[in-house]
Structure formats: structure tokens, C-alpha cells
Chain A
């Protein structure tokens, strides 16, 4: 009887120990953790203005090189028909603005087309980047603007082109051009602005 009782006690002790040790393991069973974090960035904007035109989007801009006034010329550059004559001079400005969020570099390539008179004479245009006291060149190619860096987020600069038809020049050419009444002698100026990101 006594032995059976002790066996029961031993069995109860064993069961109790087994249950408690199993319970200890269970207190670790559901420990979990989840975390998540992120970072976001957007693409830096690319926008470059020549005047009011964003050439990144439109690829074109408008400028008017022959808007000028001269009281000694009957039809000057103030009307819809632009007329120039010996002694007239003018200038036009290209305002370049880097509205990108990256540093950009621009260059300007000027071209001109001069239609000749019946006698083969072309308007003796001269150009300068600096104005009256500066250096004048006889073709607009000579004033191309080399790569110039503009700071991001609003960096701006103005490129001013001066032109003139010298009053004192080969008079026979000037006269020939003036006598060609059908308006063939003329000059057309174009500008191409190239912009690229600077690394």
C-alpha cells in the first residue's frame, strides 16, 4: 500500500515536471516582429528656358533680332517688315534660364542666310557680342557661344548679340543693294541652343 502510494506520488511529480517544462517552451512560441521602412525619390526636373520657351519640351523658341528703331530710316525695325540700311544697328538678347534640378551647360550656334542681289552682293552685316566698343566679326558664326555652365534651379544669363550695317563701307555695294527693289537681298538669322546636363 505504501509502495503504491509512493509510486503515485512519483508519477504525479513526473507529470508536473513535464508539464511545467513544456510550458516554458511555450512562452517563446509566439514572439515575432515585423518592421518595414522605405525611402522615396523623384526624378530631377529637366527644364531649360530661352526667353519664355522651355526648349526641353518645345524644342523651339522665338526671337526677333531685327527689332530696332532709327529715325533716319523710313521703314525700320519697328513694323512687321524689318528693313535695314547702311548705318543701322541693333541688338537682340537671348535670356537663358536653367530651371532644371541639375547643373546644365548650354551652347549657342548662330547661322545666317544672306540672299544676294542680282549682282551677287550680300548685306555686309557685322556682329559683336560686346557692342560698339567690342570686336566685330563679318559672319555670325564668329559669335557662337561656347559651352557655358548654368547653375540649377534658376541659374540664368543673357547673351546679347549686336549687329550693324556699317555706314562707312563699300558704297557701291551698299548702293547696289539699295537699288535691288524686289527685296531679294536680305539676311535671316537663326540660333540653335544646345543644352546638356553636367556630371
Chain B
């Protein structure tokens, strides 16, 4: 008879059994969590795909007053006394020495996520004659992007500027564009020549604002990890929880295998005790 069986204290066997039971519960709980996470992620994906499929064009919802006619220039201008001193014939927009104006570009993020945008102003003269307009541009943070409180810059510098920024969900910003044609520019002859040329040909300019926006999927620009309305935040949370659940399952499996190996080192299969050989 083989008397090699080692008798363990009864308390150790009870402890090990309780531990295994707990591990088994955790194992099944992790499986259940993983399954629930799968259901949740499928629901989220379906919701995103539904919204994705609703729109014909995949555009971000960045609203601006640039959608309407820009009123940078006018048909008429008045002096400090309120008298009209410049008026374009036939209702055409004109500029002349002494005219000036200010135009505000308004942007509003009506999308559900943050948006990265690029605002690029530009200037194009309609003939080979350059017009001595001076400009300033105040950015969305109140600082000057062109010129400053005391300085105006030539209008050509609009072509050198690009402003990049991020708008959070629901946020809005404004840019203030100012221009003027000095009445006393110090070069009356050039001003006069331009006015004379305007009588026989097209001498003018076009100011353009171009706006490009993209969805910003970063966590920090969308209210942090738990920022509202951010599907991707929730998706990342599901991703991490799934990994944790998988790690838990793996660890418990390894623990249970080691425990099984310690109990029965000759057995390769917990369920196959039938294959034990007799010495």
C-alpha cells in the first residue's frame, strides 16, 4: 500500500477552497463584464453609425456669419458729422481716401465634439494697381494678429496670416477685422491717380476669409475623460475596462492552473482524472 499521501491541515484546505471559490466568482464576473461591455460598445457604435449615415456630407457643424454676404465694404460712407461723403454709383461698393470700416467674423461650434479650425484671410487686387489700404485684425483672444492698438499694416499682410485654434463644444469666438484708407496718406497723387483710373477701368480689391475645420477627437479638448457628449471618451473607457477584465480573467486562469498543478502535478487536465496511472 502507498502511504505517500501527505495529510494537509484541514484549515489550509478550507482556505484554499474559499480562495478558489472567490477566484471562480471573479472569473465569471469578469466574463459577464466583458460581455456587457461588448453590448454597450455595439450600442454606441450603432448610434454613431446611425448619425454618420444620416448626413450626406461628413461636415462638422461650425456656424459662422461668413455663410451670409460679407459686409466688409459699403456703398456709402459718412463723415463724423453724419454726412454722406462717398457713394458708389449704381449701388456698387466702393472705397476712397477717408473711408474705413470694421467687420466681425463670428464662429460658433454647434457640433457635439471639439473642432480644430484654421482661419485664413486673404487679399486680391482686381488690377495691377495696388490700393493703399491699412488693416488690423484682432484675434479671438482679444490680441492683435495684425498691427496693434497704435499701428496699422498694409492690406497685403492679410495674405501672410493664418490663425489656428480649437473650439470646444458649444463655444463661440469673434475676430474683428478693421480697415481704412487714410485721408491724409501723404501721397495725394497716388490716391488721385487711382480715382482717375477708376473712371475708366476696374480698380479694386477683394478680401476673403477662408475657414477650414476638422473634428477634434482628443480627450483634453473635449472636457476631459468624462467630458459630456463625447462618445470616444466612453469608448476609451470601455476599451480600458475590457482590457482590465481580460487581464483579470488571465490572472485567475493562471492562478487556478497553478493551484491545480500543485494539487495534482501529474494531471494535465483538471477534468481528466481518469487517466492517472498506478505506480
Q: CB distance A13 to B197 under 8 Å?
A: no
- Do A153 and B270 touch across chains, with their CB atoms under 8 A apart? no
From A95-103, A109-117, A118-126, the one touching the partner chain is: A95-103
**Complex alpha-carbon distance, A16 and B270, angstroms:** 29
* Docked pose: A189 CA to B69 CA in angstroms: 55
Which of the four size classes fits the interface of chain A? 35 or more
CA distance A93 to B49 in the complex (A): 82
Q: Which residues of B contact A57 (CB under 8 A)?
A: 196, 199
Q: Which of A13, A14, A47, A153 is close to B87, meaning CB atoms less than 8 Å apart?
A: A153
Partner of A44, one of B52, B95, B211, B256: B95
Known: A6-B31, A14-B246. A38 touches B89 (CB 8 A): no
**Which of A2, A11, A16 gathers the greatest number of chain B CB atoms within 10 Å?**
A16
Per-residue CB proximity of A182-199 to B under 8 Å, as 1/0?
A: 000000000000000111
Q: Does B134 contact A (CB under 8 A)?
A: no
Are A21 and B238 CB-contacts (below 8 A) given A27-B52, A43-B96?
yes
B30, B111, B235, B271: residue with the most chain A Cβ atoms closer than 10 Å: B235
Q: Which residues from A are CB-within-8-Å of B146?
A: none
Which of these binds chain A: B1-9, B11-19, B55-63, B162-170?
A: B55-63
B194 within 8 A of A: yes
Task: Assess whether B210 is in contact with A36, with CB atoms less than 8 Å apart.
Answer: yes
A181 proximal to B (CB < 8 A) = no
Q: A3-B253, A21-B235, A35-B66 are in contact. Are A13 and B38 (CB under 8 A)?
A: yes
- Contact indicator B58/A21 (Cβ below 8 Å): no
Query: Does B153 sit within 8 A of A, measured CB to CB?
Result: no
Selected contact of B207 from candidates A39, A42, A44, CB within 8 Å: A39
Assess whether A40 is interfacial by the CB under 8 Å rule.
Answer: yes
Residue of A nearest to B43 (CB): A20
Say whether A172 faces chain B, with CB atoms less than 8 Å apart.
no
Taking a contact as CB atoms under 8 Å apart, the answer to whether A21 and B215 are in contact is: no
Q: How far is the CA of A152 from the CA of B270 in the complex (A)?
A: 104
Q: Footprint of B on A, CB under 8 Å?
A: 1-3, 6-7, 9-11, 13-14, 16-18, 20-25, 27-47, 54, 56-57, 99-103, 152-153, 197-199
